[in-house]
Amino acid sequence: MAKRLFDSKVFRSRPLLNLPQVIFLLVVVGAIIVAIDLNRRAQAGRLVGTGEEALQLQVEREATRQVELQATLDYVESDDYVAAYARNEGGMILPGERRIVPLLQEATPEPTALPPPTPDPALQARPWQAWWRLLTDAPQPTR
């Protein structure tokens, strides 16, 4: 009898998932993969133009700087710059010119006069006048 129980269809193993469930599971997994990929692409698309304005401003600044540097280069390569440098920093003069160097005269400084000290009203006040002023906050009575 024990042998009959094991041979019966009751103990046969059933598959874990049937075909429609496997197909549904594959569709759900595929949909999740597609949704994750679309989300990643959307985030990448949003980040594309983020720094464009700051980069454009930096390009404009550098273009302005390039123009300034080109103007400086043109001036440095000119004869006017060479002549100005030779006169001012090199100490050179053209033939027939005389070099004039101003000399500074050192003057002896005069001592500054001290202003006369202002009189201190507290020295001329009497004690009752100070108390009168503190207590009444009124002008002092005249004598």
Express each pLDDT in 98-134 by its tens digit: 888 788 888 888 888 888 888 877 677 777 777 777 7
State pTM to two decimals: 0.36
Q: Domain extents for the chain?
A: 17-48, 52-93
Contact predicate 135/124, CB 8 Å: no
Section 5-15 average pLDDT: 60
Predicted local distance difference test score (pLDDT) of residue 11: 56
Give me the DSSP letters along 127-140. Answer: HHHHHHHHHH-SPP
pLDDT score of 97:
82
Q: Mean pLDDT check: name the lowest of 9-13, 33-37, 61-65, 124-128.
A: 9-13
Q: Does position 10 have pLDDT exceeding 70, yes or no?
A: no
Residues 6+ apart with CB under 8 A from 88: none
Name residues whose C-beta falls within 8 Å of residue 17's C-beta, 6 or more positions apart in sequence: 25
